[in-house]
Chains A and B, each alone.
Chain A
Amino acid sequence: MTLSSVTDVDASSPKHLRGRYAIAGVGETTYMRGSKYSTRSLATWAIKNAMDDAGLAPGDVDGMLSYSGNDSIFCPFVAGDLGIRLNFYMDVHGGGSSTEALIGIAIGVIEAGMCKTVAIFRSMNGYTQVRIGGTGARSAVPINGDQIHHRAYGWQSAGQMFAPTFLRHMYDYGTTPEQVAAVKVAHSRHASNNPKAYYKNRLTIEDVVSSRIICKPLHLLDCCVETDNATCLIVTSLDRARDCHRPPAVIQSVVGRCCKPRADMHYQHGPISTVAGHYAKDILFPNAGVSPDDIDLTGSYDAFTFTTMLQLEDYGFCRKGEGGDYVSSGIIELGGKRPNNTSGGHLCEGYTHGMNMVIENTRQLRGEADDSCPVGPDGKHQHTYDYSEGGCRQVKDVELTANLGWAMPGTGSAMIMSKDTR
């Protein structure tokens, strides 16, 4: 199937920023249900952890970005709590495609001289307060104007909204429930080697396809976990990052909220089995100067098993239509050629609207995946590369990682990072 191109935007011009910025620190809270903390408290917890990770004092951070769907706290409150005086902040509306987009914005504002070091956070009680799946308070709100065209039909949750795309991919390409279930199986195996993961039990294909149907084609175990947590990334120039405690994860390119035509109603512009990665890849790879074959590790947004599969396919990690084969081939598992979501991702580790996959790839690039391997005298994990249950999850020789963020089929963000070559 080919897709007619409505716009051919060359957004791949600022190559002079390639390799000039880095993730200097990462931090998160525990992934919980029933956190008993406010989103303000969770946010300061995650940001403090990221500052400690980077070795930065409050006076070293002068920029802040956050995103939410009116279910979080604003930057000035948490900055004030932590003694950070801000030269720049912005609280952005949005969910799943925000992480990489905000990293790009942070690079832009630092480059513009507006501030020097930016903490990006997402804080949410996604289980006990505003349920991301739309149940509870979110299912009872009045419905206005444009929303009537979907919500009035009982078409509201992310799973319900994306299902026509998932189903149509099965129709167009013969993708099977068992193939896609392999995403959950892989991520559950990764999570079993992640002490932080909310769900650590290893699952089988049979477990997934025999779990109850939520809305066809999604079984319960095709859907991610809802959790309470906050996460933080600290972005600064590569030069400054090199002065921090941890090895920098160097940013090679970013794409932010790249859209299909008519992303407001994705289904008007077919093929509906094609997602925004189809467009985003033409910014992501030229900006970094690499191709999908060069990538050692992916972090493809797994709100659902299908989102991972669709993105890996449309970003070109396999041919169009062969996503089902790709994700069920073993390639995406630890020990495979290009593992995906080695922390267990949203399906198993916790739901943070894209942040934890960037945190994981940062740790992987440092060679510091926080698994259960023994800790040596230098305080670092002595990785065994034995990926059996409860063991290692560090990927060997990671040089280049890709993060593929998803808001909806029509909108996505992405980022390529590398190990510091200095």
Chain B
Amino acid sequence: MSLQGEYMGMMLTVDDVDRENWEFFAWCDKGEFRLQRSPKSGLLRYPPTTACPWSADRSYEWTPVEGRGAVHSYVEVHHPIQPAFRDKVPYMILLVDLDTQKGQPSAHEALRVAGNLVTADGEFAPPEAIQSIGIGTRVRMVFSKVADGFSLPQWTIDEDAEQPENPWRYPQE
């Protein structure tokens, strides 16, 4: 059965034949962040794909991964495109380097996982939180529910982590 639900005014659908995405979002709904690992290369990958980019191996195992990392880059949106985001601006899209597998298999590679900056409860982050973070900020993963069996990964500030003193921010504030 397809996963389907309305989220932020958008109808999101994952067809059942899209097995890789279906399983990814179903794991998220169980509160678990799992990524595909190729038994051949031993490497994890994101987003879900149909083969391992480093070994062309089509087989994979869903492997639990710690949802922690640091902001690699970001987008701070002031002009929304999708209608339901209009009352959320400014909002942030984070591109997060997971600690797991950072710098592998080559120096500048990482599992870079996207998500919005949200509160620990999964609400869109308020302006003061948005203004406090930048490249290098430590974040942890939370999940936003779309429908039964279907959740999305999101990012929130990691309260337990040691934070950089001055995370890099766009210079023109």
If A148-B25, A152-B8, A267-B95 touch, does A167 touch B73 (CB 8 Å cutoff)?
yes
CA distance A287 to B93 in the complex (A): 40
Are the CB atoms of A215 and B76 closer together than 8 Å? yes
If A171-B168, A268-B112 touch, does A152 touch B73 (CB 8 Å cutoff)?
no
Point out the residue from B8, B81, B114 that lies within 8 Å of A149, measured CB to CB: B114
A100-140 interface code vs B (CB 8 A; 1 in, 0 out): 00000000000000000000000000000000011100011
CA distance A410 to B113 in the complex (A): 17
Are the CB atoms of B152 and A152 closer together than 8 Å? yes
Of the 9-residue stretches B61-69, B102-110, B156-164, which lies at the interface with chain A?
A: B102-110
Are the CB atoms of A153 and B47 closer together than 8 Å? no
Q: Residues of A contacting B45 with CB < 8 Å? A: 268
The size bracket of the interface on A is 35 or more
Nearest B residue to A269, CB-CB: B109
A13 contacts B by Cβ under 8 Å:
no
If A142-B10, A167-B73 touch, does A261 touch B53 (CB 8 Å cutoff)?
yes
Point out the residue from B10, B75, B77 that lies within 8 Å of A143, measured CB to CB: B10
Residue in A4, A170, A215 whose Cβ sees the most chain B Cβ within 10 Å = A215
Q: Residues of B contacting A269 with CB < 8 Å? A: 108-109
Q: Residues of A contacting B47 with CB < 8 Å? A: 146, 149, 265
In the complex, how many residues of chain B place their beta carbon closer than 8 angstroms to a beta carbon of chain A? 50
CA distance A163 to B95 in the complex (A): 11
If A154-B8, A154-B91, A157-B81 touch, does A144 touch B15 (CB 8 Å cutoff)?
yes
| Smallest beta-carbon distance B57→chain A, Å | 15
Are the CB atoms of A214 and B79 closer together than 8 Å? yes
Residue in A154, A261, A268, A271 whose Cβ sees the most chain B Cβ within 10 Å = A154
Tell me the number of A-to-B contacts counted with CB atoms below 8 Å.
150
Nearest B residue to A140, CB-CB: B83
Are the CB atoms of B10 and A270 closer together than 8 Å? no
A317 contacts B by Cβ under 8 Å:
no
CA distance A152 to B74 in the complex (A): 16
CA distance A215 to B73 in the complex (A): 13
CA distance A152 to B10 in the complex (A): 8
B38 contacts A by Cβ under 8 Å:
no
A245 contacts B by Cβ under 8 Å:
no
If A140-B83, A152-B152, A164-B95 touch, does A268 touch B111 (CB 8 Å cutoff)?
yes
Are the CB atoms of A268 and B46 closer together than 8 Å? yes
Are the CB atoms of B73 and A148 closer together than 8 Å? no
Nearest A residue to B97, CB-CB: A270
Are the CB atoms of A164 and B73 closer together than 8 Å? yes
Point out the residue from A4, A216, A262 that lies within 8 Å of B75, measured CB to CB: A216
Q: Residues of B contacting A215 with CB < 8 Å? A: 75-79
Are the CB atoms of B76 and A146 closer together than 8 Å? no
If A135-B81, A144-B14, A154-B81 touch, does A168 touch B106 (CB 8 Å cutoff)?
no
A6 contacts B by Cβ under 8 Å:
yes
CA distance A261 to B79 in the complex (A): 31
Nearest B residue to A266, CB-CB: B112
User: Which residues 84-122 of B sit at the A interface, judged by CB distance below 8 A?
Assistant: 85, 88, 91, 93, 95, 106-112, 114-116
B41 contacts A by Cβ under 8 Å:
no
Are the CB atoms of B81 and A134 closer together than 8 Å? yes
A1-18 interface code vs B (CB 8 A; 1 in, 0 out): 101101000000000000
Are the CB atoms of B108 and A139 closer together than 8 Å? no
B145 contacts A by Cβ under 8 Å:
no
Q: Residues of A contacting B15 with CB < 8 Å? A: 144-145
User: Which residues 137-152 of B sit at the A interface, judged by CB distance below 8 A?
Assistant: 146, 152
Are the CB atoms of B81 and A167 closer together than 8 Å? no
Residue in B10, B74, B168 whose Cβ sees the most chain A Cβ within 10 Å = B10
Q: Residues of B contacting A267 with CB < 8 Å? A: 72-73, 95, 112, 114
Are the CB atoms of A213 and B25 closer together than 8 Å? no
CA distance A264 to B93 in the complex (A): 18
If A3-B108, A148-B14, A153-B93 touch, does A170 touch B74 (CB 8 Å cutoff)?
no
CA distance A269 to B107 in the complex (A): 9
User: Which residues 321-355 of A sit at the B interface, judged by CB distance below 8 A?
Assistant: none
CA distance A94 to B25 in the complex (A): 29
B1 contacts A by Cβ under 8 Å:
no
Q: Residues of A contacting B107 with CB < 8 Å? A: 4, 270
What are 11 residue pairs bridging A and B, where the CB atoms are less than 8 Å apart in the complex? A139-B83, A153-B114, A153-B116, A154-B91, A170-B170, A171-B168, A176-B171, A213-B79, A216-B74, A268-B45, A270-B107
Query: Given A4-B108, A168-B72, A216-B170, list of 19 further CB < 8 A pairs?
Result: A4-B106, A140-B82, A142-B10, A142-B13, A143-B13, A146-B47, A151-B82, A152-B7, A152-B152, A156-B81, A164-B74, A164-B75, A167-B170, A168-B73, A168-B135, A177-B171, A215-B76, A268-B45, A268-B109
